[in-house]
Amino acid sequence: MSAHRGEAVAVVGMGLVVPGASSPQEFWRVLCQDEPQFGPPDERWDLETLFAPELTAEDRVYRREMGYVTGFRPHADIDRGAPADLDSEAGRWLRHCLLQATEGIGREEADRWLLAVGAAAESSQRLEESLVVDRVATLLCEDGRRVDEVRRSLQDHYPQARATPASYLAPRQVEAAASGVLPDDIQISVLQGACSGSLQALDAGLRALRSGECDIAVCGSTFVLNRLTNVLCSVMRAAPRTGGVRPFDKGADGTVFSEGAGLLTLKRYDRAVADGDRIHGVLLGTGASTDGPGTSIVTPNPKGQQLAVRRALRQAGIVPANVQWIIAHGTGTRAGDAAELRMLGELVDGARWQVSSNKALIGHTGWTAGVASVIHGLLAMEHELIPAQRQFDEVTDPALLRGGALAIPTEDVAWRRRTQSAPRIAAVCAYGLGGVNGCAVISDGPLAVETTPEARSAHAGEATASVPSADDVVVTAWYAHLPGAPHRAAVERWLSTGAQTWADAFPTPYPPPPFAACRLPPATFDTLDRSHLMILDSAHGLDRELGGAWRQLAAETGVFLGHMGPTAGSVAYALRASMDDFRRRTGDDPLPGTRQLTARRLAEEVRGQVPRGISDTYTGLLCCIMASRVAVQYDLHGPALSFEAGPDSALAALEAARLQLVTGGVEFALVFAVAGNAEHGDALLGLARGRRLREGAFALALTRRSTAQRLKLPVLRRLERTQGKRQPPTEPRPAAHTGFLGADSAVRILRATASDAGDAVIAPEQDRHLPALRLAAAHPTSVPKQPPRAVEAFYLRETVERSAERARWRVPLDRDRDGFLSEHRVDGRPTMPGTLMLELAAEAATALVPRFLPQSFAQVEFEAFVRLPDTGRPPLTLKADAEVLHCDDAGATVFVRLLSDVTLPDGKVIQADRIHMSAQVRLSSFIGQRPYADDLPEPSSDAPELPDVYCRPNRPHLLSGTFDSLRRLRAHHRGGTALWRCTIAPDHPAFSKFRTPAVLLDAMFRTGQLNGEHHLAHEPPMPVGLSELTLYTQANDLALAGLFGSGVTLHHRPAATGGATDRLQRAIAPDGTVLAEVRGLRLYTRASGGAR
């Protein structure tokens, strides 16, 4: 993805609202003068209940003047067709920007639109006020009686927030802003990337355009100051008590938060030229990163910031010397500005950059900061002028400017148009809480060539996700974190049947995660909303599912979270911070409701329940920080973003991860969905009270197939975007799978991943602006739905004799046809597994009686190994003898022996018909429904994983590749469990024709090493026989791989006495049914190198 003309993306429209400006043109006038646009709020706020000059005042701000949008001049058509529930700030500003940004552009009826908007879950004054009304109504009424009546009464005191909280959630306001302005079938993505959010939205638009998934993208953000943000930023001492914002200046004393909205309309450059659109500039590239671990969640990490800039330059196909100007984040905080200058100085690499920030004039517009700076840069290109840095006298430390390589302009700098081969280029930086970084590179035209040799050389060796060609996106692991920590088998049964055996919600207080899941000190837990801890618990579970191989991709791993609405903690603190304002509005008379409280008494009660804020409170409540918690814990450096789409939020996060993978933005993606706010779920869903709501955190790991194969990770499902018109979901769901707020779709996704059904389409339930995604079988090639005909048998290669009752075949084994057997070794020599002897027996039995299916094996004796011949020796020839013992309309029993002649090197036979295996194969005309397994013992949740004695390094008994499919061995007092996942390629010539799941059965035999908690095998035990093996499925290994992507659980109950008659092994599907059962497996343990 680079920015030559064929891939260039043009900016064809701009819309903006910031303090002091209601359009890009007005913004330019602000940028060219000296006066900061800070002031007191308008009638939206009552300063008497918001401001107090003392730094220690509770629930107040110590600064009167902030970057409020006042004097807003809306677009003339803003009210035409506008929905009634359009928020008077967040939604209205966004609609205004949308009208500006799309005015006059060329469009066609068939155009596919993407609207990508950065919007905080908490950033709406009206949402906050409506939640205050809802919470107060609940507190004023005992046992839930009269709540709706009291809420309607309280709404009279909040005339700007009369709608339900659900109406003010960010996805609804973005949809309302677009209503009547953009087509009804647009795709909408609402994301949270903190103060880099708008640049993350630009990144999504750029990727969608270049990948051909949309024709027009409108990208940006909206951000509104509310009481929660105002108060808790004051608690953090983020703002100077007086004065302005002084980026990079030695007198810098903090930042002033502001509000605003901004949007850019993007098209592919060639399309914009063809449409005759006005082209404001070109978006050459974007870059995103996360800081990873640092001294705190709010302390910037220059290495993480630099990674975002490097990625943007690399995607643009340029080097630092091609850039003339950095529009920096420059917040006016001494530590933050110094870190940014230090980072830029390390990156400048002999170039000379102008560095400036617009926050001195408009403040820190939060989520809108990035897009406002991009518009700043595009306007400067239009006017051929880089405006001087305002509120700047002298840099904190002159050494930060690297001897003039970085220049902070104290006067306007001319920026004349140049040639096409040397366009004017600027880089825009924005960094957010949690270490979420973004960078966008813009120019006044496309690059003349795709990537210069200098750029290729400069970026060589940098860690970056590769851009795939036709490489599937695949699911490699999943995990569900639910109340009570149910074991995997219980979760899989719940996903299949809805059988819930645990509580709906986690206890209060939330149980602290183990240190391995969260390295924060326990004292910090009190400041974190439970959702922050839940995502860490789910990440810990997913990490255990994956093993350690994925961590080598940490630099290119992204985190994508689906979440709905503000956290429970932020709702609670907003209520606390609003109590003085509530008292002003309602007076001191008793309030409506059954409890007859006054506002003063209610305020005392609320403040007694919700602790006063400290410096860590704000970051412990925000939704946008949750994904960063995972990045910090595991030192990840891809993007860390949250997505909101109501109950479909998990689907939105999954779609964002898919787009990043198919466009090379990340190499590995961790996708989460967290439902941790059941307390306020009714209000957020807009439903009648009393619906059963649940809590949980769900996780998926995604990558590309080639990466999964390289890391030897299982492929559970393929993830694809569906084509055509979006359809609502039609699959029935158990009631126990609902009520998870933004994680509702995650349950459907996990259910499809763990199911034995075919392809599953996950369509949005409520958000009609999301695409549906398909979770397809792990392998795209077809899998046999029934056993192949006898003539297609893999082993029966030469018929020697044949009658109705008896038959004999010759089976020459050689390395060309049977080379896969070399992966199964005993005593260091390639050896046919016993289960492949059973497969050969099944082929022989069904060839003799072809109208039946193999159902079970009885009286099985393994008497001698079948060895592959050494290189250069003639092939070993097995003989398969089959004889019908019984046959009727219901089934048959066939006795099968596998034989060979023992010969000398000269070919002389010294023992004819040596027996390797004998068994009775029972055939049936019908295989019935799989039975459910009885309750089976499970290892404790902290039971360690045990090494597979067959797979230790440098052991003569070694498995790899095809047969190394056993995972997660754990022992308990009655045996143990393990996990089987198919690792066979779908086009394998042998296994595609098998009648039995031979590799699964091999893994079942190997669970014999689990002889109880204190009786672990130290040497590989060999199977020498079994009483009975029953198949409850006719699927072979490949078919099972397509049906059970989440893996099959193996249970082993060892013999209670010295014998083996009561030894039992079972393979349990994710739905709790039995796939295969082995009784009376006899094992022989011997030292390595022994012979038999």
Give catalytic residue positions: 824, 1002
Q: Is 363 left (phi over 0), alpha (psi -120 to 50) or beta?
A: left
Contact 756, 800 (CB under 8 A): no
Residues in a beta bridge with 808: 801, 881
Return d(Cα 304, Cα 298) in angstroms, integer: 13
Instruction: Provide the sign of the torsion angle of the four alpha carbons 702, 704, 709, 715, taken in this order.
Output: positive
Contact 674, 538 (CB under 8 A): yes
Return d(Cα 220, Cα 610) in angstroms, integer: 34
Contact 924, 787 (CB under 8 A): no
Contact 673, 652 (CB under 8 A): no
Q: Which residues contact 791 (CB under 8 A, 6 or more apart)?
A: none
Contact 826, 1022 (CB under 8 A): yes
Return d(Cα 758, Cα 162) in angstroms, integer: 47
> 668: which 2 tokens?
């590995």
Return d(Cα 48, Cα 41) in angstroms, integer: 12
Helix ranges (DSSP H) in 563-625: 568-577, 579-586, 599-609, 617-621
Contact 412, 385 (CB under 8 A): yes
> Among residues 129, 120, 124, 125, which one has the least CA distance to residue 164?
129
Residue ranges with strand state E in 634-780:
640-643, 668-675, 696-704, 717-721, 760-762, 773-776
Preceding peptide of 453 cis, ω within 30°: no
Distances in Å between the Cα of 191 and the Cα atoms of 219, 639, 681 are 11, 12, 20
Measured between its terminal Cα atoms, the distance across the chain in Å is 60
CA diameter of the chain = 110
Contact 198, 367 (CB under 8 A): yes
> 1075: which 2 tokens?
């796939």
SS3 content of the chain, % helix, strand, coil (to 5): 30, 25, 45
> 516: which 2 tokens?
């391995």
Cβ burial, residue 757 (10 Å; 0-12/13-18/19+): middle
